[in-house]
Amino acid sequence: GSGKSTIARCVARRLQPSAGTIRLGRDDITQFRGAEARPLLRRVQMLLPDHGRLLDPQRTVREALIEGPLNFGMPRDLAEDRARDLLELVQLPADAFERPAQRLGAVERQCVVIARALMLEPELLVADEVCSTLDLPAQARLRALFELINRRLPVALLFLTHDLRIASQVCDEIAVLCAGEIVEQGPVDRVCSDPQHECTRALLAAARAPGLALDVREPVKI
């Protein structure tokens, strides 16, 4: 109930805010309507925890990855080359390219969804609770993947989670929401080691995270 998913939907233009502005670069994207909003589908991509289950089980990974770029006019050969590159980035085996999505595990499907979002070369990736339905090993794999994306690709990441343990590994800065307002914001090591607001302290306690800042951005192998 803090409002983070509502913010995510507004940023990704799934929901029109009633007031205020959302700036992507120099553009106030709340002003885009109709045909003007179509380019935003490329500039901002959103990830949800259940997106992996929404993959068409009968379509191959290749078909799932190239659909978006083809719809935006990318030549098929270029789309397939980019799909193979991203499949390697998310560390799925090459033979997954022609597999139906139904033959992949939950975390593998989520990796496909992340690769599909990156196919359009977005400026911003909005990830809303993408680890919430996964077990700890799967969470660690996705956490490491987002760290890799941060290092390798020119895309900003808005990572929304209730778990500061995960946020501390993925993010450079943390903003803590409470009842729809940002109550604390700053570099991840400062927020986790010296929380100023009671909501932040409660989140750290829930994550059982004494000394969390000591492990900030620790590399994880996948």
Rg (the chain; Cα; Å) = 18
**Domain limits for position 127:** 4-161
Question: Does residue 118 fall inside a structural domain?
Answer: yes
Tens-place pLDDT, residues 181-221: 899 999 999 998 899 999 998 888 887 644 444 344 443 34
If we measure between CA atoms, which residue out of 117, 203, 193, 119 comes closest to residue 158? 117
Backbone angles phi, psi at 156, to 5 degrees: -80, 150
Running DSSP on this structure, what letter comes out for residue 158? E
In total, how many domains does the chain have? Answer: 1
End-to-end CA gap in the chain: 33
Structure-block tokens of residue 80:
């397939």
- For residue 219, being part of any structural domain is answered with no
CATH (domain of 56): 3.40.50.300
Smallest CA-to-CA distance from 215 within 170, 177, 160, 152 is with 170
Q: Is residue 26 part of a domain?
A: yes
The pLDDT value given to residue 61: 95
pLDDT by residue (tens digit) across 143-153?
A: 999 999 988 99
User: Which pLDDT tens digit goes with each residue over 35-90?
Assistant: 777 777 788 999 988 767 778 888 999 999 999 999 999 999 999 999 999 999 99
| Domain annotation covers residue 107 | yes
Where do we find the tokens 């139906």?
Answer: 100
Looking at residue 167, its amino acid is A
Q: Is 113 part of a structural domain of the chain? A: yes
The whole-chain average pLDDT of the chain stands at 86
Look up the pTM and report it: 0.83
